[in-house]
Each structure stands twice: as structure tokens, then as C-alpha cells.
């Protein structure tokens, strides 16, 4: 018995200033792009982190209410020892994304950046432009999705679709499973 692929999947590339999102629809074995874009929050100024998070939350809820995805695919935080503050700030954004999804009763799938890149480009260390080109080619877009956050969000959704297709075909993808991580 195959794994059922949700009909609407929302991919999210978390950020505090720009959060990329992409909504795809799966029907009859094909994946169609429904909507993609970015949610822009105010730039950091003094103590405006709560206002930035509220802006992100409101934008996410608006997209979720309009497109009603059955699953949200969220890129995990990549932490680099040279930039620990970036990981902490990204954690704030991820928390708000998880809260928005929870309040909309949408399950969240957490996927590593390396896994997403491997799935859509064949290279877990692919550059931003390689991901953009792969997403452009997959959806037959006239130009590369810009900014790269949009392509990253769409790539997260495609990675999830690919993992479910592999499971339904009896192929066990190379993945680390812990809860709902793929």
C-alpha cells in the first residue's frame, strides 16, 4: 500500500527579513506550482524583534488561510560556528512558522538543507543558483525564482514530494528519521 501524497504542500525557507514560501499541488502524479513568494519583515532596528516576528506570523497565516496546505515543509536551521547569532535568530523565525502551522492545524515536516539540495539537484552541497535552476527547470519557469528564498521553499516542498514518491514505490530514501524529519 503506497503512501498518500497530500494534495497541497507548502514549503518554507525561514528568515527574519525574508521568508520564502511556495505552495504546490499534487494531482495525478504531477506537481503544479500554485503560488510562491516572500514574506518581508521590517529590518532589525533596536528592539523590534517582536514586531518582526508578528509580521512573519501574520504573513504566514494569510498564506495558509488562502491556500490551505495539508503539510508544511520547513528547512531546518543550518548552524555555523562562525555565525552562532544567525542560528539563534533563525530559531525565532522557525518557532513562529511552527506556531502558525500548529494554529492552522497543519503538520510540519522538518528537512535538512543538505537533504533538500540532494533531492532537487543531486548534490547535497549545491549552490543557491543550482537550486534556483533546478526549480526553474522542474516548473518550466521563464526565469529563475528570485530571491533564492523562493526557490529554497519550493525545493523543500519538492523534496517532500520526492520522498513520498520513493516510499510509495518501495524505495527507502537515504534519510535520517526522528519524529517527522526526513
pLDDT digits (tens, 9 = 90+) for 116-127: 999 999 999 999
Rounded mean pLDDT of the chain? Answer: 88
Q: Count how many domains the chain has.
A: 1
Give me 171's grid cell.
524505495
Place 67 in a pLDDT band, splitting at 50, 70 and 90. Answer: very high
Nearest to 113 by CA among 146, 66, 156: 156
Q: Establish if 180 belongs to a structural domain.
A: no
Q: φ, ψ for residue 16 (rounded to 5)?
A: -85, -35
Q: Establish if 108 belongs to a structural domain.
A: yes
Does the pLDDT at position 3 exceed 70? Answer: no
Q: Establish if 89 belongs to a structural domain.
A: yes
Residues with Cβ within 8 Å of 127's Cβ and at least 6 positions away in sequence, in order, are none
Assign residue 87 the CATH number of its domain.
Answer: 3.30.420.10
Enter the DSSP assignment of 16.
S
Does the pLDDT at position 143 exceed 90? Answer: yes
Residues with Cβ within 8 Å of 81's Cβ and at least 6 positions away in sequence, in order, are none
Q: Establish if 110 belongs to a structural domain.
A: yes
pTM, two decimal places: 0.88
Q: Establish if 175 belongs to a structural domain.
A: no
Q: Which residue has the higher pLDDT, 176 or 23?
A: 23
Domain that holds residue 51: 8-168
Using CA atoms, how far residue 95 sits from 14, 29, 56, 74, 141, in Å, is 10, 32, 11, 11, 32
Give me 18's grid cell.
525574508
Q: Establish if 159 belongs to a structural domain.
A: yes
Share of the chain above pLDDT 90, in %: 71
- What value does the mean pLDDT take over residues 101-130? 96
Does the pLDDT at position 171 exceed 60? Answer: no
Q: Establish if 23 belongs to a structural domain.
A: yes
Q: Which residues are catalytic?
A: 13, 75, 149
Contact of 178 with 36, CB cutoff 8 Å: no
Place 44 in a pLDDT band, splitting at 50, 70 and 90. Answer: confident
Enter the DSSP assignment of 34.
E
Q: Establish if 177 belongs to a structural domain.
A: no
Amino acid at each position: 500500500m503506497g503512501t498518500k501524497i497530500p494534495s497541497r504542500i507548502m514549503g518554507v525557507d525561514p528568515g527574519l527579513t525574508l521568508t520564502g514560501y511556495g505552495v504546490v499541488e499534487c494531482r495525478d502524479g504531477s506537481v503544479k506550482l500554485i503560488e510562491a513568494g516572500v514574506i518581508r519583515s521590517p529590518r532589525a532596528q533596536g528592539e523590534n524583534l517582536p514586531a518582526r516576528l508578528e509580521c512573519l506570523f501574520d504573513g504566514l497565516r494569510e498564506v495558509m488561510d488562502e491556500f490551505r496546505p495539508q503539510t508544511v515543509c520547513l528547512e531546518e536551521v543550518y548552524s555555523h560556528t562562525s555565525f552562532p547569532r544567525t542560528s539563534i535568530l533563525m530559531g525565532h523565525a522557525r518557532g513562529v512558522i511552527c506556531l502558525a502551522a500548529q494554529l492552522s492545524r497543519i503538520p510540519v515536516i522538518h528537512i535538512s538543507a543538505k537533504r533538500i539540495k540532494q533531492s532537487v539537484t543531486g548534490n547535497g552541497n549545491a549552490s543557491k543558483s543550482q537550486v534556483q535552476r533546478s526549480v526553474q527547470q522542474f516548473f518550466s519557469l521563464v526565469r529563475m525564482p528570485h530571491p533564492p528564498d523562493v526557490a529554497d521553499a519550493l525545493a523543500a516542498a519538492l523534496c517532500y514530494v520526492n520522498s513520498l514518491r520513493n516510499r510509495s514505490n518501495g524505495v527507502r530514501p537515504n534519510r535520517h528519521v526522528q519524529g517527522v524529519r526526513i
